[in-house]
Amino acid sequence: MELWRGRRLWIERRTVDLPSGPKEYVVVHPGGAVAVLPVDGDEVVLIRQYRAAVGGWVLEAPAGTLEPGEEPAACAARELIEEARVAAEELVPLGTILTTPGFSDEVIHLFLGRGITPCTAYPPDEDEQIEVERVPVGEVRAMALDGRIADAKTLCLVLRALVAPAPGP
């Protein structure tokens, strides 16, 4: 049963038959999303964005929600330009993550951005307050370990792209 519906998000109450009997759950459906770790030589392009839900600024990778029917790579390319003011020559898929499977079905598609160049083709979203920062790769690893980066999608990107990267060309 639908409890609430907004522009991009809806919430439902769902009954599931489990071995122990029927259980009722509330499930949040935020839609799909992407996140990109743009690496430019020995620097990573990160954004510091005001997040009202936590009441402060968060250092994170550029990210955003998929439009209906939009391919994840196209969304990743668009969000990089909108938020970090850069374009990537290559977007390397790094898999997906489930953000909060205890109450949400959100899936984020992760990408590594390579071949970074400045770009201003898209205006930033009206509701976003963003500062772009270039951080040395080694410092990003240290920030992920010591808590200066606390955003989960960014931590997953750092792990997959900078700590244990897949073999590549």
Q: Helix, strand, or coil here: 145?
A: helix
User: Using CA atoms in the order 10, 13, 18, 23, what is the torsion angle rounded to 10 degrees?
Assistant: 140
How far is the C-alpha of 97 from the C-alpha of 32, rounded, in Å? 11
Neighbours of 158 (CB within 10 A): 22
Q: Residue 129 has what DSSP assignment?
A: -
Catalytic residue list = 126
Q: Which H or E run includes 154?
A: helix 152-158
How far is the C-alpha of 77 from the C-alpha of 63, rounded, in Å? 10
